[in-house]
Each structure stands twice: as structure tokens, then as C-alpha cells.
Amino acid sequence: MSDMSHTRRGLPITSSSIEKIFPKLTPAQIRRVAAHGHIRKVERGEVLVEQGDKSVPFFVVITGELEIVRPYGSYETLVTVHDSGQFTGEVNTLSGRRSLVQMRATNPGKVIELDHKHMLTLVQTDAELGEILMRAFILRRVELIAAGVGDIVLIGSLHSASTLRIKEFLMRNGHPYSYVDLERDPDVQNLLDSFQISPSEIPVLICRGQVILRNPGNQQIADCLGLMNLLTKSRYAISSSSAPVHRGWLPQYMELQKDSTFWFLKRARLVVRQVQAQESKIT
């Protein structure tokens, strides 16, 4: 394990090596990324992405730091800090879904910024970088799910069919969330009172600490999370691009946006197994 594992700030890593989840790009790789975007300055405290933003930009840090946090009311969870040579993003960066986190600069510096369209072109046309980014994005999503860090909180009961339906829907879409059990958590009543929710309205989904959905249907959840029409838009963007498509990653990108428990879990487990197999050969 490199020194990076001892100095990293953020959520603890539950699987794989930190170099696979938060890799540092080489100078040559950074130059190839820069060809698809532009370099810009960032100021201390500048917010680059708000939780809930759609089609967020992709950044590579040249100098300075970018802090990734999950806001929730007056509290926030530090997810990670990207420094020189590291890049931002996870699965939602590819799919164009709403951002789960807030991104801000902790120090003045410079970053390479790519909008959603140019980031997709990079992934499709550069085999090496496409593999690095896809692997990191998937492993980061696996870590967010394992830590229960997302932009929504589900309050429910395992004895409720609606609660089980919502949990299945979120898992099927690979969306991380925090779960509060009405029967098991002694402090849940305080949470309900703060949002003026009665037990009869359970299950409740709280989106980004603002939108409260009482016993929502799957359509309401999809609207809140920004899941609708993404596959159609992404297919159009890819089919209309004049750039050559990197065939190895395009099928995975397209499948990434399907409503499929089987595919997401299979792909995530496969990536984790591949990384663990590589690490076992080294040790």
C-alpha cells in the first residue's frame, strides 16, 4: 500500500486498493484529458457542483484540492479529497443523473474541466483512460453503497411491503441511500418530528434533505432522483457523435443506465474480483 493510503481523508475504504478507486493520472494521461476540455482556476471555498445538479462536469486536479462532501441538513459527511493528478466522478457522472454530493475547492488551484459530452467522448475514444475511469467510477459507487452514503434517506419498516419495494427499486438502480428502521432505531421519532411526519405516513423518502415523499411510488422516486429519460438521451448523444466509439466500454456504459439489479451487481462484483485478483498476484 502506498503512502496515499495513510494520508487520504474521507470515508474508510471497505474493498479493493485505494490506487484503483482514487488513481493518480500520469502527466501524459493528464495531457490527453486536457485535449478534451479546458483549464480553469478555482478559488478557496468555490463550489463547483451542488448536490442535486444534473450532468455535472468532470474535473482533473492540476494544483490545489477538491473536497467531496455529502450534505444533510446542517451536517455533512466528508467522502474524499482529490489532490493533484486525481479526478472526480462516479457512476452518475457517466449516466447524467443528479449529483449525490457537493464538490468544492479547499485551496486555490487549477483544474481541467470537461462537460458531460466531452467526458463521454474521452471515455469512448481513449481505451486506457476509459478503463481507468470506468473502473474507478464503479468501485466508488460500490463504496458509497457499502457506506450508505447517498442523497436520500429511507425511513421505513421491514414489515412493510412498500418499504421493501422502495429498497428493491433503489438497489435495482444502484442508488446509494441511508436506511432508518422505524422499529429498531430509538432516535427515529426525533427525525420524524423534525420533518413533521407521522408514523402512519411510513415509508418516507427524504431527497437531498429537502423533498419529502410519503409512501411514494416508483415513478415519484425516479422523478426525484432524475432517472427519467436518461437512457434515451444518452443513446442519442452517442449515436449522433462523430467521434469513433471505443467498443470495449460502450456496451458497459449503455448497460450502466438500464434498470437492472442483475447487471449492476454482476458488473460491480466482477470489477472488484478483477482488482483483488491483480492484488493477490502482487502479494
The highest-confidence range among 177-191, 222-236, 265-279, by mean pLDDT, is 177-191
Q: Please, what sign has the CA dihedral across residues 165, 55, 139, 7?
A: negative
The half-sphere exposure of 65 on its side-chain side, counting CA atoms within 13 A, is 10
| Domain C-terminal end among 225, 249, 276 | 225
> What are residue 202's phi and psi, to 5 degrees?
-70, 145
pLDDT above 70: percentage of residues in the chain: 70
Average pLDDT over residues 50-54: 89
Determine what percent of the chain falls in helix, strand and coil, rounding each to the nearest 5: 45, 20, 35
State whether 108 and 217 are in the same domain.
Answer: no
What is the pLDDT, as a whole number, of residue 123?
Answer: 87
Classify residue 231: in a domain, yes or no. Answer: no
| Residues of the domain holding 159 | 152-225
- Per mean pLDDT, which range of 56-70, 125-139, 192-206, 249-263 is the poorest? 249-263
pLDDT in tens, 187-229: 666 666 665 677 678 888 888 766 788 889 998 888 888 765 4
At 29, the pLDDT band (50, 70, 90 cuts) reads very high
**Total Cβ atoms within 10 A of residue 159:** 10
- Is 197 found in the same domain as 144? no
* DSSP category for residue 24: P
In a domain, 255, yes or no: no
Is residue 231 scored above 60 in pLDDT?
Answer: no
Q: Both 125 and 172 in a single domain?
A: no
- Going by the DSSP 8-state scheme, the letter that residue 27 receives in this structure is H
Element (H, E) at 4: helix 4-7
More confident residue, 45 or 270: 45
Q: What is the pLDDT of residue 28?
A: 97
> Quick check: is 268 in a domain?
no
Query: Is 221 inside any structural domain?
Result: yes
The Cα 203–Cα 85 span in angstroms is 43
Do 189 and 138 have their domain in common?
Answer: no
The model's confidence at residue 115, banded by pLDDT at 50, 70 and 90, is: very high
Given 225, 259, 278, the domain boundary residue is: 225
Domain boundary among 172, 190, 225: 225
Residue environment code for 171-193, b if the CB has 16+ CB neighbours within 10 A, otherwise e: ebbbbbbbbbebeeeeebeeebe
In the chain, the number of structural domains is 2
Determine the pLDDT at residue 254: 44
Residues 129 and 164 in one domain: no
Strand pairing class (204-207; 211-214): antiparallel
Same domain? For 75 and 203 the reply is no
pTM check: above 0.85? no
Same-domain pairing of 141 and 170: no
Assess whether pLDDT exceeds 70 at residue 70: yes
Which pLDDT band holds residue 42 (cuts at 50, 70, 90)?
A: very high
Q: Which of 93, 72, 53 is nearest to 225 (CA)?
A: 53
Query: What does the pLDDT read at residue 80?
Result: 92
Q: Are residues 25 and 75 in the same domain?
A: yes
Same domain, 70 and 111: yes
Looking at the fold, whether 10 and 134 belong to one and the same domain comes out as yes
Say if residue 30's pLDDT is above 90: yes
Where do the H-state alpha helices sit in 148-242? Answer: 161-172, 188-194, 218-225, 230-239
Comparing CA positions, the residue from 183, 186, 207 lying closest to residue 195 is 207
Mean pLDDT, the chain, whole residue set: 77
Count of CA atoms in the C-beta half-sphere (13 A) of 128: 8
Q: Return the higher-pLDDT residue of 255 and 13.
A: 13
20 residue type, one letter: K
Report the SS3 class of residue 13: coil
- 19 with 136, same domain? yes
Q: Looking at this protein, which amino acid is placed at residue 175?
A: H
* CATH classification of the domain holding 186: 3.40.30.10
Query: What pLDDT sits at residue 247?
Result: 42
Ranked by mean pLDDT, the top range of 108-112, 123-127, 162-166 is 108-112
Average pLDDT (62-68) is: 96
